[in-house]
Amino acid sequence: MSIFSKSLLFRGVGGRHYSAAAQAQLREILGNQLAGIKEAGTFKAERVITSSQSTQITVQGSDKKILNFCANNYLGLANNPEIVEHSQKLLEQYGAGLSSVRFICGTQDIHKQLEKKIAQFHGREDTILYASCFDANAGIFEAILTPEDAVFSDELNHASIIDGIRLCKAKKQRYRHRDLGDLEEQLKASDARLKLIATDGVFSMDGNIAPLARIVELAKKYNALVFVDECHATGFFGATGRGTEEYDNVMGQVDIINSTLGKALGGASGGYTTGPAELISFLRQKSRPYLFSNTLPPAVVAVGLKVMDMLLQSSELTQRVQSNTQRFRQAMTMAGFTIAGENHPICPVMLGDARLASKFADEMLTRGIYVIGFSYPVVPQGKARIRVQISAAHTEAEIDRAIDAFIEVGRSLKVIQ
């Protein structure tokens, strides 16, 4: 009997597993739930793209190019030839991956270089890389906060912040969305050792901005720390793309910044925490997604390195996404649409009704414009919308084409006159 034969003990006739009944039960339970999700109209089908990520893409089942207005590709760098070339170069030089976590044998010189460049970009002391910002958010609160501490979290923070906070033992306090009165009441009443205010810099469903300057003021008054998730800001928001703290004139005053390499910064993957040297050093010792997960592959590190070089040299792309955003928001508002959010490339076109949002998105696709309708439970009941995302890579002509299509569909569905 070979060492592998043992597994036969668990197999019945025809290789069927003895747990067939349990598996049938699982299929039935999940199948019923899936049917429920479909019936509620909230099933998320994935459209299959057959080109690189760009403003013009092709999707399975069609040769026609469609205009993409729903990627987080804010700077249009996801298929930038210089970045792809650099990534190929480091793939050849450093190999496919490290087969290791960072502290065993997964740290190359390029990981250290990228951490240094990100810290330089944000004007911080040091940076720690993660496989994603989801991991960065999952790893920070549990590592640094104890039961003696308290975390004050905006109720609409991203799921990864919510999950990260769930893992920690600090006192968990939620304040009403961007409500500084509520935040202040809670800070005033707290006798925690460390107080940490946690907020998204930009809230991705509404494209609205955390009142960061006033949060920083409250933090000073009540001796609290400020943590900001800058996934929808780093590289393109604020005059030179330094993010929400630049936009709100409080550069350098946020204590901890978490962000992603998977959106504006080349769109590959990866996340990070940047801040005080002791914090970064401590996270390398204690943060579980860092300690127990594989290091970023060289081809991905290369994307981050090249993007950082580009952004440290020039803010041209940042300015372009800002002027494209203004063009879209102004024309759409003039046409009679309600665009939520503030001056950010996330432009939610508010429609209210879920079925209307879904029909609107379908009609846009027949006109060659790819946008997505968002409805409950992703956004509150009755607040369905189409979330348009503008990129520096959109040409003015492409933006105008999208606006024309919105106006045509908006009139035919009686959303505008």
Known catalytic residues are: 204, 232, 263
Cβ closer to ligand PLP: 390 or 399? 390
Binding mask 207-236 for ligand PLP (x = CB under 6 A): ----------------------x-xx----
CA angle at 76 for the pair 351 and 347, rounded to the nearest 5°? 15
Rule CB under 6 A: say whether 149 interacts with ligand PLP.
no
Task: Tell me phi and psi for residue 67, to 5 degrees.
Answer: -90, 125
Least Cβ distance, residue 161 to ligand PLP (angstroms): 7
Task: Tell me phi and psi for residue 11, to 5 degrees.
Answer: -115, 140
CA angle at 75 for the pair 70 and 80, rounded to the nearest 5°? 100
252 vs 123, 134, 218, 310, CA distance in Å? 7, 23, 16, 21
Residue 172: how many other CB atoms lie within 10 Å: 15
Least Cβ distance, residue 320 to ligand PLP (angstroms): 22
Rule CB under 6 A: say whether 158 interacts with ligand PLP.
yes
Rule CB under 6 A: say whether 134 interacts with ligand PLP.
yes
Least Cβ distance, residue 133 to ligand PLP (angstroms): 3
Contact 125, 280 (CB under 8 A): yes
Rule CB under 6 A: say whether 206 interacts with ligand PLP.
no
Nearest residue to 143 via CA among 154, 135, 133: 135
Cβ closer to ligand PLP: 115 or 398? 115
Least Cβ distance, residue 265 to ligand PLP (angstroms): 10
Rule CB under 6 A: say whether 260 interacts with ligand PLP.
yes
Rule CB under 6 A: say whether 248 interacts with ligand PLP.
no
Amino acid residing at 262: G
Which residue of 55, 87, 132, 318 would you call a contact of ligand PLP, by CB under 6 A? 132
Contact 251, 242 (CB under 8 A): yes
Cβ closer to ligand PLP: 160 or 287? 160
Least Cβ distance, residue 47 to ligand PLP (angstroms): 18
Cβ closer to ligand PLP: 173 or 204? 204
Who's near 109: CB < 8 A, 6+ residues apart? none
**Helix (H) / strand (E) containing 152:** strand 150-154
Rule CB under 6 A: say whether 200 interacts with ligand PLP.
yes
**What is the dihedral sign for C-alpha 107, 279, 286, 166?**
negative
Number of residues that bind ligand PLP (CB under 6 A): 14
Cβ closer to ligand PLP: 304 or 410? 304
Least Cβ distance, residue 80 to ligand PLP (angstroms): 19
- Range 229-252 burial, b when 16+ CB lie within 10 A, else e: bbbbbbbbbbebbbbbbbbbebee
Could you list the residues that contact ligand PLP (CB under 6 A)? 132-134, 137, 158, 160, 200, 204, 229, 231-232, 260, 262, 271
